[in-house]
Amino acid sequence: MKRTDFAVFLNKYLTDYLVNTRGSTEKTIDSYRYAFIFLLEYYSDVLKIPAKKICLTDLTYENISGFYKWLQEYMHNGISTRNQRQAAINSFIRFVIYERPEYLTEFQRILGIPKKKVPQKEISYFKADGIKLLMDQISTNDVKGLRDYAILMLMHTTGVRVTELITIKVKDLSLSSPCTLLVYGKGQKSRFVPLNSKVVPIIKKYLKAMRYDNPARSDDWLFINHMCNPFTR
């Protein structure tokens, strides 16, 4: 059976463009793949166009707008999830535009579909006295207490995410002035975070207690659980 132009470009987009040109992570590619699984389901069940017959000409403003509405009203996708699906579709559309510029006008209409606004939640936070009260509950007379104190101090003074904190290795610390921490964030993007002068003595005390001051242990995880494994989120 002859493949449609949509099938050809979708295959190229998912298996080549995202992987080799964009260098997208496996998690991102999986997320985008799921968006197209839902799109194929919508075209098949609602528009009565089987997946094997979908063509680029079927990617119209009306059809894609209907898809986004279907995600929210029928599939009960939240606004954030719906916007993630839209980001995947828009990425594909931008990719195809350069391959099939004759569809530029319709594709620009699709790209012009506004994202749904996510209601801003009020952020709750500890005040200074709350932080002090929390930290005062931790005994630093043993290694476990030092670890927990160091974890909370790092999160409080640097603002690192939990997923970033649990992947820190001893070698990511630089405790000579200026003291910094190398952090790996989303998409394996790295950045240096300055360390507050109040946290450095705690970190040094913790490193000594864990015998991490031995250069041979520079590749060890900074924070480990009672099984000597890195923490999960």
pLDDT, position 119: 76
Its pTM stands at 0.56
pLDDT, position 78: 92
Give Cα separations from 80 to 48, 69, 141, 148, 172 (angstroms). Answer: 27, 13, 44, 33, 33
pLDDT, position 1: 65
From first to last of its 233 residues, what are the pLDDT tens digits of the chain? Answer: 678 999 999 999 999 999 999 999 999 999 999 999 999 999 999 999 999 999 999 999 999 999 999 999 999 999 999 999 999 999 999 999 999 999 999 999 999 999 998 777 777 777 888 888 888 898 888 999 999 999 999 988 898 999 999 999 999 999 988 999 999 887 778 899 999 888 899 999 999 999 998 889 999 999 999 898 988 88
Looking at residue 93, its amino acid is I
Helix 61-73 and helix 104-111, axial crossing angle in degrees, nearest 10? 30
Tokens describing residue 86: 């839209």
For the chain, what are the domain ranges?
5-111, 128-217
- Which of the 8 DSSP states describes residue 55? -
CATH superfamily of 128-217: Intergrase catalytic core (1.10.443.10)
Instruction: Of 170, 164, 169, give the one whose Cα is nearest residue 183.
Output: 164
pLDDT, position 21: 93
Q: Report the b/e string of 181-202 with b at 16+ CB within 10 A.
A: bebeeeeeeeeebebeeebbeb
pLDDT, position 34: 95
pLDDT, position 186: 76
